[in-house]
A and B are shown apart, each in its own frame.
Chain A
Amino acid sequence: MLPQFILRLSLYNSIVISMALWLSSCQTTPAPPPECTLPQTTGVKQAFTHTRKELSRSECHFRFDAYFDRLLDTAAGDPNPQHSEHFSEFLIWANSQDIITRRNAEEYYNRYFNAKFVSLPNEYSNCAYTCRMKDEIVHNMKEELRQKDKGLLKIMANKRAYARANSLHDSILTVLEATCTACAISR
């Protein structure tokens, strides 16, 4: 009797243990998160809608730059002066969703859609700081002018605004060169 009982008990135990092992191996693996896809459409409104939907997920926030570049390319395919308004609203929305800071939003907007330059430093005087970093600033301004070419000219089709940016770029560089030459003489 006793050995039979022990046999049954061990049989039950083994069945229970097996079932427990089997159940633990069948735990649900979480489904992989959907990829953060860039908008593929050529329509600007659809591109913005898709981007807002994707960026609403926190796991896509790190791709903000890629999304913004794609939006720029899409808008360049359909030039319209009202695009600056769309981009402004999008950046304000992104800031409200804590995807980017207010300063970042201003920088993105003004780089592409304002004739003024954000690459210029504002912390210290020209003699003390700007002139020591002149080469870097000149390089940054050239890069920013290319961005304004894309924003003002290709996206907004605003030749006047781009001409103003171009002229401001030349004027700033001329005045900086003169100022830095004068600063260097005093050293």
Chain B
Amino acid sequence: MTSILGIFLAFGIFFARSLAIPPVIAARPPITKNPPLKEVVVNPNNPIVSQNPKLFQISVLLQFFWGGVLSSILLFWNSFAVGAQPPTIRLFPTTVIENVKEAGQVARDMEISLQDVIADMEQQWKLYQESKCEGYEGDEGCSQISQQMGNKYLEMLSLMDSQLPQIEHSVQATIDSLENRLRQELGQKLTARDLQEVLVSETASDNQLSNRKSRRHSSGRLSERFRQYYNLVLQASSHTGGNSVALAAADIYLDSKEVLELIQLTQGEINRARLMIELRNQFGSVTPEMHEVVTGVKKILLGEKDMATAYETLPPAGTFPEEYQSPLKF
């Protein structure tokens, strides 16, 4: 504080000097070596100095003082103006955006690699059912189909086992970085009422706040979900599209936690299934559990095809007559 006042006092002196330079310079006596003690060399033409030197000195000091005061006032005025603005929330630094992008990319790679394997398994399962092989595992043809399905199933488990940790790592990194930001920016800096003001101010357009439906529990491919998150983050960060930064962060954080739980459950199922196969050595038999695991993998990774539109449109603002504004309203 002292240094700031000092700086502005210096500005004040500068302003004062710009006003007071001519008389000051004119009043300074010429520097001479061993100046005479008795004489004071003063410009006799300067009316201010000649008439009352003490008054002149006081006026110079006053100019310095008021210059500093004016500069300080300007500084405080700016600080009040800054203080009146809503708090700036930084929820999406570059690391979070990169983590979301990476998680989407890794999920996409895994989907591509698994798609063929799962398609083959589905075909074989269909053939198994159409051939009415259930209960007739002893039949040579049925035994062959079962063995092929078992091999494909192991192949799928191995693929997932090798790639799920990468997705898990990316999703965990996204969660960790968002968690810190949410805790610091929304949890420790704001009250609940402040949070409401942030949400209202960020979605200033009436349509966007009214139209928002929860993106949580949305179905779809995992990679598609992360791609949507990435677009959401970009829109929210650039304040386009009327999306709230805080809401986008909350959606992505909670969804990612759910995804992480599902991935961890799937990893557990994979380990259990592999252990059962190794223990029983039943490469040729198709158990209902195998089918359930495949169905679960499809649900998590590939999702459902149809997605409801997230936004509806309302009549644009200004369609309705102006509402009454009560003095009691917030």
Please tell me the number of chain B residues within 8 Å of chain A, measured between CB atoms: 44
A116 and B178 alpha carbons, distance in the complex (Å): 27
Contacts of A4 in B (CB 8 A): none
B103 on interface, CB distance cutoff 8 Å: no
Interface of B is mostly: helix
Q: Is B291 an interface residue (CB 8 A)?
A: no
**B92 CB, min distance to chain A CBs, angstroms:** 14
CB contacts under 8 Å to B, within A135-158, are 137, 158
Contacts of B180 in A (CB 8 A): 182
From A105, A118, A164, A178, contact of B206 by CB (8 A): A164
User: Contact at A178–B249, with CB atoms within 8 Å?
Assistant: yes
Chain A: residues with Cβ within 8 Å of the partner, total of 51
Question: Could you tell me if B257 and A130 are in contact, using CB atoms closer than 8 angstroms?
Answer: no
- Which of A16-24, A32-40, A49-57, A166-174 interfaces with chain B? A166-174
A181–B190 alpha-carbon span in the complex (Å): 15
* Mask of B239-279 contacts with A, CB within 8 angstroms, 1/0: 00000101101110110010000000000000000000000
CB distance from B196 to the nearest CB of A (A): 6
Cβ–Cβ contact B196 & A178, under 8 A? no
The digit string for A83-127, where 1 denotes a CB below 8 A from any CB of B, is 011001001100000000000011001100110111011111111
Give chain A residues whose Cβ lies under 8 Å from the Cβ of B329. Answer: 88, 109-110, 113-114
- Distance (Å) between the CB of B14 and the closest chain A CB? 43
B 52-79 binary contact with A (CB < 8 Å = 1; else 0): 0000000000000000000000000000
Check A160 against B192 for contact (C-beta < 8 Å). Answer: no
Give Cα distance in the complex from A102 to B189, angstroms.
28
Residue in contact with B187 in the complex, picked from A92, A126, A174, CB distance below 8 Å: A126
**Given A84-B324, A110-B330, A116-B196: A130 touches B191 (CB 8 Å cut-off):** yes
Q: Are B209 and A160 in contact (CB under 8 A)?
A: no
Known: A168-B199, A174-B247, A179-B250. A123 touches B330 (CB 8 A): no
Contacts of B210 in A (CB 8 A): 160, 163-164, 167
- Are B199 and A170 within 8 A (Cβ)? no
- Chain A residues near B244: list those with CB within 8 A: 171
Query: How far does the alpha carbon of A163 sit from the alpha carbon of B320 in the complex, in Å?
Result: 15
The answer to whether B187 touches A131 (Cβ under 8 A) is yes
- Chain B, residue nearest A183 (CB): B187
Alpha-carbon separation in the docked complex, A61 to B329 (Å) = 24
Given A85, A116, A118, which contacts B326 in the complex, CB threshold below 8 Å?
A85
- Whether B179 and A182, one on each chain, are in contact in the complex, defined by CB atoms closer than 8 angstroms, is yes
18 contacting pairs across A/B (C-beta < 8 A): A84-B323, A84-B324, A106-B328, A110-B330, A117-B196, A120-B192, A122-B192, A123-B191, A124-B191, A160-B206, A167-B211, A174-B251, A175-B250, A181-B257, A182-B178, A182-B179, A182-B180, A182-B187
19 further interface pairs, Cβ-Cβ under 8 Å (given A120-B195, A179-B195): A85-B326, A88-B324, A92-B327, A114-B329, A120-B193, A127-B183, A163-B210, A167-B210, A167-B211, A171-B203, A171-B212, A171-B247, A172-B192, A175-B186, A179-B182, A182-B178, A182-B180, A182-B182, A182-B186
Pick the 9 closest A-B CB pairs, nearest first: A178-B250, A88-B326, A122-B193, A120-B192, A127-B187, A182-B182, A109-B328, A182-B183, A175-B250
Interface residues of B (CB under 8 A from A): 178-180, 182-183, 186-196, 199-200, 203, 206, 209-212, 214, 216, 244, 246-247, 249-251, 253-254, 257, 314, 320, 323-324, 326-330
